[in-house]
Amino acid sequence: MAMNSETIEWEVAVDDQNKSTEFNPFKGGLHCGKRVRTNPHMRAFWAATLAFCLAFVGWFAFAPLLSVVRVDIGICDNQAAVDLLPENEKVKGCVCKKSCKAAIGNANLAAVSFDVFTRFIMGSVIEYFGPRLTDCMLLTWGTIVVSASAAVTSATGLMIARFFVSALGSTFVVNQFW
């Protein structure tokens, strides 16, 4: 924010770089401040918090659904028997032993690997684009990839989807910077 000759009265105490020196996330109620120009600190805090919550949900959406996903993509070790079961009994009837656990294990490894890479490069990206645009880019990427993951039909597709969704974990780095 460029400083004019006028002095801005911030709603929170700030230092010589206009960074907030106090933390009061509920100051100003639902509007995050009385005036838009005078309280960017809490708006940034809540924007970062909301962005990370959305990214976290997208990042971990597959984990609790894996028991259903493994049936839907046909990686159960007894898939032929599972296909004959009524729809409401398929998840319970799935036996996940060697090949099924290997496919899920590989998908879990993929879910971490791209996140590690993106966390390493995130510092440079944040310095170049700034935290706000970087967070927007990550959330846009996450929206596309999480939406596309609904089209997964094989173990390889599951691995690829979890690989690219893992970039959402890097929103943690953006929030630390912010």
First to last CA, the chain: 15
List the single range of 3-7, 81-85, 130-134, 170-174 with lowest mean pLDDT: 3-7
* pTM for this entry: 0.74
Q: Is 18 helix (H, G, I), strand (E, B) or coil?
A: coil
135-158 burial, b for 16+ CB within 10 Å, e for fewer? Answer: beebbebbeebbeebeebeebeeb
User: Can you give the pLDDT at residue 159?
Assistant: 92
Distance CA(164)–CA(156), nearest Å, equals: 13
More confident residue, 117 or 26: 117
Q: Is 12 left (phi over 0), alpha (psi -120 to 50) or beta?
A: beta
Position 55, amino acid: A
pLDDT of residue 5: 35
CA 129 to chain centre: 19
CA atoms of 160 and 109, how far apart (whole Å): 11
Q: What is the dihedral of CA 73, 77, 82, 83, to 10 degrees?
A: 50
Tell me the three state secondary structure of residue 20.
strand
Identify the three-state secondary structure at position 3: coil
Q: What's the mean pLDDT in 33-57?
A: 75
- Cα 57–Cα 62–Cα 64 angle in degrees, nearest 5: 90
Tokens read off for 72: 């839907």
